[in-house]
C-alpha cells in the first residue's frame, strides 16, 4: 500500500512534498530494511546495522527505566504519606515519567528530522538512544519547558553542528543534562522538590527531598549503621532513593550492563576501569579524611554507575583504542569521585568527568596510537 504512496513523484526531487522526503525515507527504512544491495567491496554483509545496535542499548536501558517509573511513584508516596498499592505507585510514576519521554523524543526527533531534510541525508538513528537516555538522567520534576530547551540545545549544538551521529565530540544526552545544570542551577540541584514530585500535596514531616549524595556530602553518613540519612546501603543498592529517574538502582543498571557487554555494544573495559578509578579515589579520600564514606559507597551513590555503564561507554565519544579505553574509563571514574570529594560546589561529578574525558578521548587515543606505532617500528628494526 504505502509503496504506492511514496513511490510516485510526490516525495521525489521536484515533487510537491519533496520537503518531506527524508521523513518518508526515515519511516520507510524504520519499518522495512531497504532493498539496497552491495555495490563495492564485500558482496555479502553482516546482518548488523546501526539501528540494531541502537535498539540493543535501548533494551539495556529498559530495566533502569522501569525501575525509575516505580521509584518516582514510590518516592512520592513516601514523601506525601500516601497509602498507594504497587500498581498505583507504578501508574503514578508512569504519569510523572511519561511526559519527560514525550518531550525528549518529540523535540529531539523534530530537530533531527529537520536537520536530515536540510542536509538531504538519511535520518540518523542515534537519537533513539539519546532520546531514551535524557529522561533517565534528569530529576523527575524537571519543568518540561526546561527539558525541551535542553534537548534542543543538545541536539543542535551537540550533534547537528558536528554532522550528526558519529561526528559528535560530546555525549549529547549529557550535554542536555549539563545545559540544565548550568542554566537553571536553582531548579536543578540541592534539596527541594526537583527530585520528588509531590503532586501538589503536602510533604510529611522531616521531608527534605535531598538525594543521599547531597546528604552524604553534608556529613550525613552514619558510620555505625552504614546508612546515609534515612537510607540504608540496601536502599542505595536497590535504588529506593531520590535521584535522577533511571540512575538510582544498581541492580537495574547492572542488568543493562550485562546485555551491553554480552552484545559487545559497550566496552566492558571502560566500565571496569571507571569503577576501579572511582574506588581508588574514593579509598584515597577515605584514608586522607576527605570523606567518612567507605569507597564502595561512591559506586552506588548518584549517577556514578549509570554514567559508567551507559554514558562513558558511548562508542562515538569515548576512546577508540583498546588501551585508550582503560585510561579513559579510569580517569572518568577517578575524576568523578575527585569532584565529589574535593569540590564543595558540586555534589555530583560524573557528568563533568565524562564530558571532560569526552574532550580528552582523542588526545588519549593519539598518545596510545603514537606509542604503539613507535614501539612496533623499534621492534621491527631491531628484529
Partner 1 sequence: MSNNIHLKKGLDIPIQGVAAQKTVKTVVPTTVAVKPTDFKGLVPRLLVKEGDPVLAGSPLMADKAHPEILLTSPVSGTVAQIVRGEKRKLLAVVIQADDKKEAVDFGARKIASLSDAEVRELLLKSGLWVSLVQRPYGILADPALRPKSVFVSAFNTAPLAADYDYTLAADVQYVQAGVDVLGKLTDGGVHFSIGERTACSTPFHKIENVISHVVSGPHPAGNVGVQISHIAPIQKGETVWTVSLPLLAAIGKLFATGKLDLSRKIAVTGPAVKDPSYVAALPGTPVREIVTPDENVRIIGGNVLTGETLSADGWLGFFQDQVTLLHEGNKKEWFGWAKPFRPKLFSSSACYFSWLTPRKKYDMDTNLHGGPRAFVQTKCFEDVTPIEIFPIYLIKACLAKDIEKMEQFGIYEVLPEDLALCDYVDPSKNDIQAILAEGIDYMIKEMA
Residues at the site binding partner 1, with contacts judged by CB under 8 A: 29, 31-53, 55-56, 122, 124, 126, 163-167, 262-265, 267, 315-316, 320-322, 369, 372-373, 376, 380-381
CB of 268 to partner 1, least distance (A): 11
- Judge contact between 195 and 211, C-beta under 8 A: yes
Closer residue to partner 1, CB minimum distance, 266 or 295:
266
Q: How far is CA 84 from CA 81, 129, 170, 301, 331, in A?
A: 9, 32, 41, 27, 43
Which helix (H) or strand (E) is 222 found in, with range?
A: strand 221-222
Name residue 228's beta-bridge partners: 221, 231
Closer residue to partner 1, CB minimum distance, 54 or 281:
54
How many whole angstroms separate alpha carbon 242 and alpha carbon 121? 42
316's CB contacts (< 8 A; 6+ apart) are 126, 165, 166, 167, 168
Q: How far is CA 326 from CA 43, 61, 62, in A?
A: 35, 23, 27
CB of 372 to partner 1, least distance (A): 7
Q: Is 130 exposed, middle or buried (0-12, 13-18, 19+ CB in 10 A)?
A: buried
Closer residue to partner 1, CB minimum distance, 48 or 251:
48
Closer residue to partner 1, CB minimum distance, 177 or 269:
269
CB of 46 to partner 1, least distance (A): 5
Closer residue to partner 1, CB minimum distance, 58 or 280:
58
How many whole angstroms separate alpha carbon 370 and alpha carbon 383? 20
Closer residue to partner 1, CB minimum distance, 234 or 372:
372
CB of 319 to partner 1, least distance (A): 11
CB of 255 to partner 1, least distance (A): 16
How many whole angstroms separate alpha carbon 207 and alpha carbon 219? 18
CB of 187 to partner 1, least distance (A): 34
Closer residue to partner 1, CB minimum distance, 46 or 83:
46
Single out the residue of 69, 77, 186 nearest to residue 135, CA to CA: 69
CB of 362 to partner 1, least distance (A): 11
CB of 23 to partner 1, least distance (A): 15
- Judge contact between 246 and 134, C-beta under 8 A: no
Residue tagged 577517578 (cell numbers) = 334
CB of 158 to partner 1, least distance (A): 15
- Judge contact between 221 and 292, C-beta under 8 A: yes
Closer residue to partner 1, CB minimum distance, 284 or 369:
369
- Judge contact between 298 and 290, C-beta under 8 A: no
Closer residue to partner 1, CB minimum distance, 162 or 238:
162
Name residue 222's beta-bridge partners: 227
Amino acid at each position: 500500500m504505502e509503496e504506492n504512496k511514496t513511490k510516485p513523484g510526490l516525495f521525489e526531487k521536484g515533487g510537491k512534498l519533496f520537503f518531506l522526503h527524508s521523513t518518508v525515507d526515515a519511516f520507510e527504512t524504520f519499518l522495512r530494511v531497504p532493498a539496497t544491495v552491495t555495490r563495492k567491496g564485500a558482496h555479502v554483509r553482516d546482518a548488523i546495522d546501526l539501528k540494531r545496535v541502537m535498539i540493543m542499548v535501548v533494551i539495556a536501558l529498559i530495566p533502569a527505566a522501569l525501575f525509575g517509573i516505580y521509584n518516582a511513584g514510590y518516592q512520592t508516596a513516601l514523601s506525601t504519606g500516601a497509602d498507594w498499592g504497587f500498581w498505583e505507585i507504578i501508574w503514578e510514576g508512569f504519569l510523572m515519567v511519561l511526559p519527560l519521554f514525550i518531550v525528549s523524543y518529540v523535540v529531539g526527533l523534530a530537530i533531527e528530522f529537520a536537520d536530515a531534510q536540510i542536509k538531504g541525508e538519511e535520518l540518523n538513528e542515534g537519537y533513539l538512544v539519546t532520546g531514551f537516555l535524557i529522561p533517565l538522567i534528569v530529576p523527575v520534576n524537571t519543568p518540561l519547558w526546561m527539558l525541551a530547551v535542553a534537548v534542543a540545545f543538545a541536539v543542535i549544538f551537540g550533534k547537528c553542528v558536528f554532522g550528526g551521529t558519529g561526528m559528535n565530540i560530546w555525549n549529547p544526552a549529557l550535554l542536555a543534562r549539563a545545559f540544565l545544570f548550568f542554566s537553571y542551577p536553582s531548579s536543578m540541584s540541592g534539596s527541594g522538590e526537583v527530585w520528588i514530585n509531590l503532586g501538589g500535596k503536602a510533604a510529611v514531616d522531616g521531608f527534605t527531598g535531598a538525594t543521599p549524595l547531597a546528604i552524604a556530602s553534608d556529613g550525613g553518613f552514619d558510620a555505625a549503621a552504614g546508612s546515609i540519612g534515612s537510607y540504608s546501603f540496601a536502599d542505595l543498592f536497590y535504588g529506593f532513593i531520590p535521584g535522577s529517574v533511571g540512575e538510582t538502582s544498581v541492580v537495574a543498571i547492572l542488568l543493562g550492563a550485562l546485555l551491553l557487554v554480552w552484545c559487545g555494544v559497550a566496552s566492558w573495559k571502560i566500565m571496569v576501569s571507571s569503577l576501579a578509578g572511582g574506588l581508588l579515589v574514593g579509598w584515597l579520600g577515605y584514608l586522607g579524611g576527605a570523606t567518612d564514606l567507605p569507597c564502595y559507597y561512591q559506586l552506588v551513590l548518584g549517577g556514578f554507575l549509570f554514567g559508567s555503564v551507559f554514558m562513558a561507554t558511548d562508542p562515538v565519544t569515548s576512546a577508540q583504542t583498546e588501551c585508550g579505553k582503560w585510561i579513559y574509563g579510569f580517569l572518568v571514574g577517578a575524576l568523578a569521585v575527585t569532584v565529589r570529594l574535593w569540590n564543595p560546589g558540586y555534589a555530583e561529578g560524573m557528568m563533568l568527568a565524562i564530558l571532560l574525558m569526552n574532550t580528552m578521548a582523542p588526545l588519549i587515543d593519539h598518545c596510545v596510537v603514537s606509542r604503539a606505532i613507535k614501539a612496533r617500528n623499534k621492534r621491527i628494526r631491531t628484529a
